[in-house]
Amino acid sequence: MEPQSKSSKPIPATALVFIGWLFLMTFLPFLIILGMSFLERTPLGTISFHFSFDNYLRSFQYIYIKVLFKTVWLAFMATVSCLLIGFPVAYHLARSRGWMKQLGLILLFIPFWTNFILRIYGLVALLGNHGLINQLLMQLRLIHSPLEILYTRTGVYVGLLYNYLPFLVVPIFSSLEKLDPSLREAAFDLGANRFQVFWKVVVPNIKEGVFIGSLFVFIPMLGEYVIPDLLGGAKEAFLGNVMVSQFFVMQDWPFGSAIAGILSLLLLFTLWLQTRWSRFGNLKDGGNHA
C-alpha cells in the first residue's frame, strides 16, 4: 500500500518550496564545504584549485585526533549525565497528575523562552569566580577561595547538561506516558516488587525511547561549539571550536572544511545508528498487521 502511493503521488507545490529551501540552505553549502575540503590553501590564505587529500591526512595528526576523541568522550559523558539526571525527572513527571505535571512541563521549557546565547552568558554570570554561586558560598563561609568552574571542563559539562537536559527528558517522558499503567499493576499483581516492576517491565518497554532520546542529545553535542567556547575557555575546545578557528583565525578554509567533513561523517554515522534502531522498531510494529 505504501510504495504505491509513494510512486504515483506527485510532489505538492508546498513540499517543493521546502525541498528547494533545504537544497539551497543546507545541501548546497554542505557540498561547497565538502568540495573545498579537497582543495589547498595558498600561503596568502586564499584557496587554490588543486585537488588533494592533504587536509584529511592532516586531520589524522595526534592533536586533532585527540580533540576528536575528547569531543566524542565529553559528549558521551554529558549524555550519560543527562540520562542520570533526566530519567528520574521524566519518571516523576510522567507519574504526577494534574497541575503538578503541567507545572513540571512548563518549568522544563521556560529556559527556551530566552535566547540561547543569553542563557549561556547567564551561566557565565552564575559560575564565574565573582559569580553568584561563588559569592554565595563564600558569604556562607563554606569555601575560602572561589571554585574554579567557569573555563574548565566542569563549566562545559554544566553548560551541556543545562542546555540539553530537556531534549532527553521529553522523549523519555513521552515513552513513559505511552506505557499502559496497567502493565505496572499487572506486574505487581503477579508478584513483582517495585524494583522488579521497574527493571523487568518499565525499562524493557521504554529503552527504545531512552536510546533515541540519548542520540537526540548526543548528536548535537558532537557539533557543539558555542558552549565550549563560552564556558570552557581555550583548553576545553571541541572539534567544532577547532574547525571554527581554522576558518576564522587561521584562515585555512580547506582544512576547516575537512574537519567539518569528518564531523559530518560522525553525525551521519550516529544518525544511521538511530534510523537503524527506529526501523527495527517499525518492523516490530509492522508485524502487527501481518
Three-state SS sequence of the chain: CHHHHHHHCCCCHHHHHHHHHHHHHHHHHHHHHHHHCCCEECCCCCEECCCCCHHHHHHCCHHHHHHHHHHHHHHHHHHHHHHHHHHHHHHHHHHCCHHHHHHHHHHHHHHHHCCHHHHHHHHHHHHCCCCHHHHHHHHCCCCCCCCCCCCCHHHHHHHHHHHHHHHHHHHHHHHHHHCCHHHHHHHHHCCCCHHHHHHHHHHHHHHHHHHHHHHHHHHHHHCCCHHHHHHHCCCCCCHHHHHHHHHHCCCCHHHHHHHHHHHHHHHHHHHHHHHHHHHHHHHHHHHHHC
Of 2 and 189, the one with the shorter C-beta distance to another protein is 189
CA dist 76 and 82 (Å) reads 10
Of 178 and 276, the one with the shorter C-beta distance to another protein is 178
For residue 87, the minimal CB distance to another protein (Å) is: 18
Of 265 and 290, the one with the shorter C-beta distance to another protein is 290
The amino acid present at 67, given as its one-letter code, is V
For residue 248, the minimal CB distance to another protein (Å) is: 50
CA dist 190 and 187 (Å) reads 5
Of 2 and 285, the one with the shorter C-beta distance to another protein is 285
For residue 193, the minimal CB distance to another protein (Å) is: 9
Left (φ > 0), alpha (ψ -120 to 50) or beta: where does 151 sit?
A: left
For residue 180, the minimal CB distance to another protein (Å) is: 6
For residue 98, the minimal CB distance to another protein (Å) is: 12
CA dist 175 and 184 (Å) reads 14
Per CB under 8 A, residues contacting another protein are 180, 182-183, 185-192, 196, 200-201, 204-205, 284-285, 287-288, 290
Of 130 and 284, the one with the shorter C-beta distance to another protein is 284
For residue 84, the minimal CB distance to another protein (Å) is: 23
Of 125 and 203, the one with the shorter C-beta distance to another protein is 203
Are 257 and 55 within 8 A, CB to CB? yes
For residue 100, the minimal CB distance to another protein (Å) is: 15
Of 114 and 196, the one with the shorter C-beta distance to another protein is 196
For residue 171, the minimal CB distance to another protein (Å) is: 18
Of 29 and 181, the one with the shorter C-beta distance to another protein is 181
